[in-house]
Amino acid sequence: MTFNDRSTPLDLLRSRRSGRARDMVAPGPDAATLHDMVGIAARTPDHGKLAPWRFVVIPDDARDAFATLLVDAYRAEKPAAARLEIEAMAQFARQAPTLVAVLSTPKHESHIPLWEQQLSAGAVCMNLEHAAHAHGFVACWLSGWAAYSAAVCTALGGREGDRIAGFVFIGTPSRALEERPRPDLDSVMREWRG
Ligand SMILES: Cc1cc2nc3c(=O)[nH]c(=O)nc-3n(C[C@H](O)[C@H](O)[C@H](O)COP(=O)(O)O)c2cc1C
């Protein structure tokens, strides 16, 4: 099963894998395709119909500003940061043709447990990856330092209690994707009879 086996819905699900964000090249999805992907991602189980997540698209012409945001936030937290660390922040912000930050935005006033709302945000990221694959692109869900920075979350529109679920990078792989070892099902699946 290779990454390009997408001829049936099951093949599509079986063949998805992540690419390395820094190896992704153009083309990425155009605006209409990205819109469709986000629509698919938003068809995610969501207890209470709260939509406790937000998609923040960081377009090409905002990547430099995003790099500046990460570098400034990193320096503010780590004043002694080395040049290589700073460069890594800027490189993270600029990789891949398309970047969508997914925010977990739980409704704290709701009776739906926070955990369930956060799980839904994770499921959104996964659905976005499947949608990217179905459209013929590769995706990668990354966190990294930036996902845990309150300053970055706030700059992306996050409010008190919101978190960055991940940065989903999307593009075209510049090299053949390698499969990674998958868990042996016997080690992660069992029957329970009490
Ligand atoms: C919440 C979350 C955060 C992740 N952050 C990173 C990361 O910062 N760096 C990284 O190399 N992989 C990260 N990964 C793993 C990749 O997204 C991906 O799962 C991994 O490369 C294997 O790819 P595949 O199983 O989708 O083929 C993260 C995964 C999740 C679920």
Q: Which residues pair with 180 in a beta bridge?
A: none
Instruction: Measure 9 CA to ligand 1 centroid, in angstroms.
Output: 23
From start to end of the chain, where are the E strands? 24-25, 53-57, 98-104, 138-142, 163-173
Query: How long is the chain?
Result: 194
Instruction: Measure 75 CA to ligand 1 centroid, in angstroms.
Output: 25
Predicted pLDDT at 5: 87
> Would you say the CB of residue 173 lies under 6 angstroms from ligand 1?
no
Count CA atoms within 13 Å of residue 54 on its CB side: 16
Q: Map residue 165 onto helix, strand or coil.
A: strand
User: Could you report how far apart the first and last alpha carbons of the chain are, in Å?
Assistant: 37
> Would you say the CB of residue 17 lies under 6 angstroms from ligand 1?
yes
From start to end of 58-181, where are the E strands? 98-104, 138-142, 163-173
Q: pLDDT band at 2, cuts 50/70/90? A: confident
Q: Is 80 exceeded by the pLDDT of residue 1?
A: no
Query: Is residue 19 a contact partner of residue 139, using CB atoms and an 8 Å limit?
Result: yes
Q: Which residues pair with 103 in a beta bridge?
A: 54, 164
Atom of ligand 1 nearest to the CA of 17: 27
Spatial CA neighbour of 44 closest among 99, 113, 116, 137: 116
Ligand 1 pocket test target in 15, 95, 140 with most atoms within 8 Å of CB: 140
pLDDT (average), residues 131-140: 98
Is the peptide bond prior to 27 cis by the omega test (within 30 degrees of 0)?
yes
Beta-sheet pairing, 53-57 with 24-25 = unpaired
Copy the structure tokens of residue 75.
């320096």
Atom of ligand 1 nearest to the CA of 180: 27
Name the closest-CA residue to atom 4, ligand 1.
142
Copy the structure tokens of residue 39.
């629509």
pLDDT tens-digit map of 8-66 = 999 999 999 999 999 999 999 999 999 999 999 999 999 999 999 999 999 999 999 99
φ, ψ of residue 182 to 5 degrees: the values are -105, 155
Atom of ligand 1 nearest to the CA of 144: 8
Name the closest-CA residue to atom 25, ligand 1.
17
Predicted pLDDT at 93: 98
Atom of ligand 1 nearest to the CA of 140: 17
Q: pLDDT band at 4, cuts 50/70/90? A: confident
Name the closest-CA residue to atom 6, ligand 1.
142
Copy the structure tokens of residue 151.
């300053």
φ, ψ of residue 109 to 5 degrees: the values are -80, -10
